């Protein structure tokens, strides 16, 4: 591997990496404190669409993570920005808890379809409404296309299969705004003064977290928590810079080898 510049920024996934629903990954809070004791800039990047950024922040603070709102960059933030740029009225297929992040966006007489993780809305009648809008020329915007995610009771379908179903039925292609899109990672770094070559991404999703970050020019560290399954690291090329047990182990490696 070619010599890299000194590490200046660490991007950290949330769900599956720092926590799983309302339980922190063991040792994650202390590991974050150790990382903050260095000179690197820390940002938190998430595809979660199950709740607003404020609700997510409250969840993290209850788990005793020292995180501020301006350090979190979500796919909901990126989606709202795109809607404002396109000046469209979306049919929002998102969890009701995520709606505060779209406050002020007009949704009457929709002319676009936005899909996040919305289990309560993924039924035939609603999906058929979206299908008809897309047939009439409405753009399809996917907040992300994750195949699945980790819950306390096991793995569960993400929004990706439903986005793909609508793409297939309407012969169209979704605009994806979350990870693994290169623009998502670049936006997350904006304002830090860091280039992708200065950064490392830590996450539990080999394709979306690690593969996306490495495609953007960063190093990618895959952790074996959350949605990780055996041999995930073989699903991308090049493989992850590092695969390790958990976020605390990733921080150990950074402190010992990248600073």
For 78-107, how does the pLDDT look when each residue is reduced to its tens digit (9 = 90+)? 899 889 989 999 999 998 988 988 999 999
- Distance CA(46)–CA(44), nearest Å, equals 7
What's the predicted TM-score (pTM) here?
0.82
Convert the pLDDT of each residue in 126-160 to its tens digit.
Answer: 999 999 999 999 999 999 898 998 888 999 999 99
CATH number assigned to the domain comprising residue 102: 3.40.50.1000
Q: Which of 176, 207, 229 is the last residue of a domain?
A: 176
Mean pLDDT rounded to a whole number for the chain:
92
Report the distance separating Cα 158 and Cα 142, nearest Å.
11
The helix, strand and coil proportions of the chain, stated in percent and rounded to the nearest 5, come to 40, 20, 40
Are residues 183 and 167 part of one domain? Answer: no
Give the pLDDT confidence of 190-243 residue by residue, as tens digits: 888 899 999 999 999 999 999 999 999 999 999 999 999 999 999 999 999 999
Total domains present in the chain: 2
Any domain includes 141 = yes
Give buried/exposed letters for 142-157 (b at 16+ CB in 10 A, else e).
bbbbbeebbeeeeeee
Among the three residues 128, 153, 176, which one is the final residue of a domain in this structure? 176
What residue numbers bound the domain in which 109 lies?
A: 89-176
Query: Which pLDDT does position 233 carry in this prediction?
Result: 94
What does the block give as tokens for 64? 């005793």
Q: Assess whether 185 and 209 both reside in one domain.
A: yes
């Amino acid at each position: 591997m070619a010599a890299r510049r000194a590490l200046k920024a660490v991007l950290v996934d949330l769900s599956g990496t720092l926590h799983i629903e309302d339980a922190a990954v063991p040792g994650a809070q202390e590991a974050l404190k150790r990382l903050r004791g260095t000179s690197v800039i820390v940002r938190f990047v998430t595809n979660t669409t199950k709740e607003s950024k404020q609700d997510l922040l409250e969840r993290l603070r209850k788990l005793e993570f020292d995180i501020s709102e301006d350090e979190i960059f979500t796919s909901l933030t990126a989606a709202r920005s795109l809607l404002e740029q396109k000046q469209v009225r979306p049919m929002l297929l998102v969890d009701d808890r995520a709606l505060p992040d779209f406050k002020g966006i007009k949704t009457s007489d929709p002319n676009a379809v936005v899909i996040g993780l919305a289990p309560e809305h993924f039924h035939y009648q609603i999906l058929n409404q979206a299908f008809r809008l897309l047939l009439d020329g409405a753009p399809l915007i996917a907040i992300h296309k994750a195949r699945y995610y980790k819950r306390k009771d096991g793995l569960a379908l993400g929004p990706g299969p439903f986005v793909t179903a609508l793409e297939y039925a309407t012969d169209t292609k979704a605009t994806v705004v979350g990870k693994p899109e290169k623009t998502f990672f670049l936006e997350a770094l904006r304002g830090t003064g860091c280039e992708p070559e200065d950064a490392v991404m830590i996450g539990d999703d080999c394709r979306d977290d690690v593969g996306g970050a490495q495609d953007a020019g960063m190093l990618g560290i895959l952790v074996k928590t959350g949605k990780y399954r055996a041999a995930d690291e073989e699903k991308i090329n090049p493989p992850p810079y590092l695969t390790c047990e958990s976020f605390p182990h990733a921080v150990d490696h950074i402190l010992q080898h990248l600073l």
